[in-house]
Structure 1
């Protein structure tokens, strides 16, 4: 028995191919994939900007689907809609032992370190599957990227009524802004793209949006209790401290190659809390699921583009070259 899969054979080459269907395995469940969110990581893999990735690779880690069998613990029944937590962890390293598997020392992410979900079926550890009620598969496929923003907000411990700045209005930045707003913060979004800011304003109309200036020319230096960086740009990450009020927290959602560099007097006089935020935990997935069910997250506005499995071969490369016109594109299997 074979199944269809989207294979990135090498940078710039995406093909629809056939490969064997995955076999069942102890402690794992087979999932019939229904929707796949396309992540910035997928665009980078396609474009060749992931230098340590081994090609060929089946991408895809933002996934929803139907369980093809029941879980041993009874949490999941055959046919249940599930969200996939794509972080495969060792369970034995220090991070896992202290309850932080999101930064497992031996982590493998579906679609990055191992083949992912741009296929008809996938086998996933039972513990990485979360049953979903009260929403459609399309919305469920957006839970993972939203959980990354929700995790950063939870780590920030921002206070209700405080002022928060999100720099970078891509999907992760918009997710962070949404969950910071849910916590009661006043939100400002900055980006270099007017088009991205316009899209963000449709998702979160209560937020203030501003076209980014050089950080040393901004009108709102030392203004924000919490600053979230979601730019993926080392220069922006180094400059973001300038926006932070004394006593504030600087949360780095982005991860890039390069060195963070702050003037120590500027960092020290604020008594800055510097927070790295990586991936997400089950608690964040649960929070996102609850917020979507409660109507606090406008999932329809987030899903700006959709394509079929067959047409993704053409559409994904097009979107990779024009990401400023979309928030989240999804593949319907």
Structure 2
């Protein structure tokens, strides 16, 4: 079978490997349908994630079909599933408190353990979720990245006419735009890229703006999804007194005006990935709604054998989500 293989930063290849090893009792073998290229995949490719391991097979946004099961696996052959790509032990103090997203022993597919950009891969059935037959592949492949935003939104209260600023209109920012708009918020999408702002407009947001366009305005909720120092600092600056800032992006550092945070009594929330299966199930509920608009999120679906072009498009930052297609070429 074929898999993508990253021997070291910048050295990505498509190679032939032997079929997967025999299944453990709780495992399933999955034939991949789609794999989304995520910002962390790009970070591993560029060597910018400190806890990444090499060599490694990338990929963690995974949609596939079960083609074989171990004797104790939960699901049947033929079931279409998505993958929860971050392991949790279920036994540490954080897992016991229900915070499996920050398990002390967490490992992440495609970062420090082999991912799923392969024609077939195996995984414990503990980490897969079946998808309703009526959901399209194109919506289903967004479940994992969208669950990040669904989890983040549980930290705040967004209702009709809540003023929400979303800084950074990459995939996660755009998914935040989609959800905030769906919930009835008055959304302002902020980015340095006019191309991304134009895409944000397709969600029916109240306004798009470049960072310098936001002067003396403040917002009930600010979602920071750019992951850069300037965006974090602006998020704190433009949050209304008593408002909330949700940090989704992974900026290495930023300068906080502590007195301003205190005087405005701001609520600052860090948020990372999701809890499984609860956040995935909530994500499924949103995506099953016909009037929930996520169509603009995916920019292009590219066959995995053309992986170089796919990665170049993802790295450029000029597109929305780039999806690798692992279906048989004659079925495209």
2:298 aligned with 1:303, yes or no? yes
Sort the Cα spacing of 1:269 and 1:114 in 2 relative to 1 into closer, same or farther, 3 A: same
Kindly state the Cα deviation for residue 235 of structure 1 after the two structures are TM-superposed. 2.5
Secondary structure, counterpart of 1:181 in structure 2: helix
- Is 1:245 the counterpart of 2:244? The answer is no
Match of 1:167 in 2: 167
Give the length in aligned residue pairs: 323
Q: Is the 8 A contact 2:25 2:72 kept in 1?
A: no
Which residue number corresponds to residue 287 of structure 2? 292
TM-score normalized with structure 2 length: 0.91
**Residues 72 and 13 (structure 1 numbering): CA distance in 2 closer, same or farther, change over 3 Å?**
same
- The answer on whether the counterparts of 2:31 and 2:67 sit within 8 Å (CA) in structure 1 is yes
Q: Does the CA-based 8 Å contact 2:175-2:294 persist in structure 1?
A: no
1:226 matched to 2:225? The reply is no
* Matched ranges for 1:187-266 at <5 A: 187-202=187-202, 204-213=203-212, 218-221=214-217, 223-258=218-253, 260-266=254-260
- Cα displacement (A) at 1:26: 2.4
**Structure 1 residue 73 displacement after superposition:** 7.5
Provide closer, same or farther for how the CA distance between residues 316 and 98 of structure 1 changes in structure 2, counting only shifts above 3 A: same
Uncovered stretches (5+) of structure 1, i.e. residues with no partner: none
Match of 1:277 in 2: 271
Contact residue 160 and residue 184 of structure 1 kept, 8 A = yes
Distance 2:164 2:302 in 1: 34
SS at match of 1:274: strand
Secondary structure of the 1:88 match is coil
Deviation (angstroms), 1:72: 6.5
Residue in structure 2 matching 1:18, options 2, 16, 19: 16
Aligned-pair Cα RMSD in Å? 1.9
Deviation at 1:320, TM superposition (A): 4.0
Secondary structure of the residue aligned to 1:240 is helix
SS at match of 1:69: strand
Instruction: Find 1:332's aligned residue among 312, 325, 331.
Output: 325
Q: Describe the superposition over 1:295-319 as per-residue Cα deviations: whole angstroms up to 9, x where unpaired.
A: 243343221111111111x213421
Question: Are the equivalent residues in 2 in contact too, given 1:64–1:138 (CA < 8 A)?
Answer: no
Give, in angstroms, the shift of residue 161 of structure 1. 2.3
**Distance verdict in 2 for CA 1:249–1:90, change over 3 Å:** same
Q: What is the alpha-carbon distance in structure 1 between the residues aligned to residue 297 and residue 273 of structure 2?
A: 19
Partner of 1:179: 179
2: CA distance between counterparts of 1:309 and 1:137? Answer: 16
Counterpart position of 1:119: 118
CA contact (8 A) 1:150 1:175 kept: no
